[in-house]
Amino acid sequence: MPTESNKSNRELVAALQSARLCTDTLFTRVRPDSLYERPIPERHRIVFYLGHLEAFDWNLIGRGPLDIPSFQANFDGLFAFGIDPDASGLPQDKPADWPSLQEINAYNSRVRHTLDGVLEEVPQE
């Protein structure tokens, strides 16, 4: 029988899914041939932001209080932090240094699926 806690958890997951839909829709407005560009020289390439939100959720929810083992630690780190402008020089990475869209989408899907499943069942505290 569903508990009040399960209902609240499902509402949390639904809100998270709704927010993801908004950001997914926003990213569809970026031309695919522009995803590896850097419109602001001091900041990450656009492709960084495709994985950033899921890495944020994973690192602060999944890896944090839920203590779920990492399944792709390199992406957890790669997408974790933005770049603050640095007077000493501009970022030197190349588009080829970044994962493919397919790899990022697979990471995002796994993060979403894992967190949604766990969040629906975790006791509220």
Q: Do residues 12 and 119 lie in contact, with contact meaning Cβ atoms separated by under 8 Å?
A: yes
Q: Are 63 and 70 in contact (CB under 8 A)?
A: yes
Please list the rounded mean pLDDT of every run of 10 residues in the chain (125 residues): 67 94 97 95 94 96 90 96 77 94 98 94 72
Q: What is the pLDDT of residue 4?
A: 59
- pLDDT on residue 1: 47
